[in-house]
Amino acid sequence: MEKMDNVFVLDHPLIQHKISILRNENTGTNEFRALIEEIAVLMGYEALRDLPTEDVEIKTPIETCMTPMIAGKKMAIVPILRAGLGMVNGILALVPSAKVGHIGLYRDPKTHEPHEYYCKLPEPIDQRTIVVVDPMLATGGSGAEAVDFIKQHGGKNIKFMCIIAAPEGLKKLHEAHPDIQIYVGHLDRCLNEDAYICPGLGDAGDRIFGTK
Ligand code: PRP
Ligand code: URA
């Protein structure tokens, strides 16, 4: 796939190793959930490397110095329900002061089109760095619609983080929203006829929550 501006595939060996365990059909719910959170921490570390800092005065036991801290601290983490919930605590571990919004979307099993059932975002959304999280970017319908909602509510500075993407979904999200940064843990081969990612990991929501 050609290189796209604002798209970052995070090929760190720790992320790749953990994704491989996620893919294994024998990985159970507890381990799966823990891995999703750990991968979110590792991806968040990379995706937040451009957070603005400002120098503040700190007195060490030795002397007073000017030293950088995160400026503003206005961040919103927005999981796409349900599976995105699994990534929230990983990002909160990095930025505990972040507020959390929610967007509820489900894919119609026949048409694969996303349907909204919930949207609640922290104010002032236009002043926040917004990190949208969802482990799976398949057709890209849910991701593109979630970003549409956030923009309609005034969101401007948006990052999208997914653990596995299909080329089709990545292209769709990037073309719909070329202004947002998209962080991908692994770019998989393709979608199958049911719009599941191949090789993928199956249904992320079901594997996180133990449903079927
Ligand atoms: C999954 C996944 C994404 C979406 C990706 O959610 O978590 O939100 O599918 O597919 P797309 O890119 O083709 O839109 P799903 O609709 O299964 O809902 P769930 O998380 O509640 O199980
Ligand atoms: N949603 C999932 O959870 N998995 C896929 O492979 C595609 C959409």
Q: Is 195 in the pocket of ligand 1 (CB under 6 A)?
A: yes
Q: Write down the pLDDT at residue 73.
A: 63
Nearest CA to ligand 1 atom 10: 138
Count CB-CB contacts under 10 A for residue 104.
Answer: 16
Alpha carbon distance 56, 19 (integer Å): 38
- Ligand 2 pocket test: pick from 203, 206, 209 the residue with the most ligand atoms within 8 Å of its Cβ: 203
Q: Is 173 in the pocket of ligand 1 (CB under 6 A)?
A: no
Distances (CA, A) of 92 to 16, 33, 41, 136, 153: 22, 15, 9, 20, 23
Residues in the chain with pLDDT < 70? 73
Alpha carbon distance 160, 147 (integer Å): 8
Q: Ligand 1 mean position to 205 CA, how many Å?
A: 7
Give pLDDT tens digits for 88-136. 999 999 999 999 999 999 989 899 999 999 999 999 999 999 999 999 9
Residue 203 designated active-site = yes
Looking from the CA of residue 205, the nearest atom of ligand 1 is 22
Alpha carbon distance 79, 151 (integer Å): 15
Alpha carbon distance 114, 137 (integer Å): 12
DSSP secondary structure code for residue 107 in this structure: E
Q: Write down the pLDDT at residue 39.
A: 98
Q: Using the structure block, give the residue that is written with the tokens 């594997």.
A: 207
Alpha carbon distance 211, 203 (integer Å): 10
Q: Write down the pLDDT at residue 71.
A: 87
Q: Is 107 in the pocket of ligand 1 (CB under 6 A)?
A: yes
Q: Does domain 7-49+73-209 have CATH number 3.40.50.2020?
A: yes
Residues near 98 by beta carbon (within 8 Å), at least 6 away in sequence: 75, 76, 77, 91, 92, 131
Looking from the CA of residue 191, the nearest atom of ligand 2 is 6
Q: What is the 3-class SS of 145-203, one letter each residue?
A: HHHHHHHHCCCCEEEEEEEEECHHHHHHHHHHCCCCEEEEEEECCEECCCCCEECCCCC
Looking from the CA of residue 138, the nearest atom of ligand 1 is 12
Alpha carbon distance 85, 80 (integer Å): 7
Count CB-CB contacts under 10 A for residue 7.
Answer: 20
Nearest CA to ligand 2 atom 1: 203
* Ligand (nearest to CA of 86): 1
Q: Is 133 in the pocket of ligand 1 (CB under 6 A)?
A: no
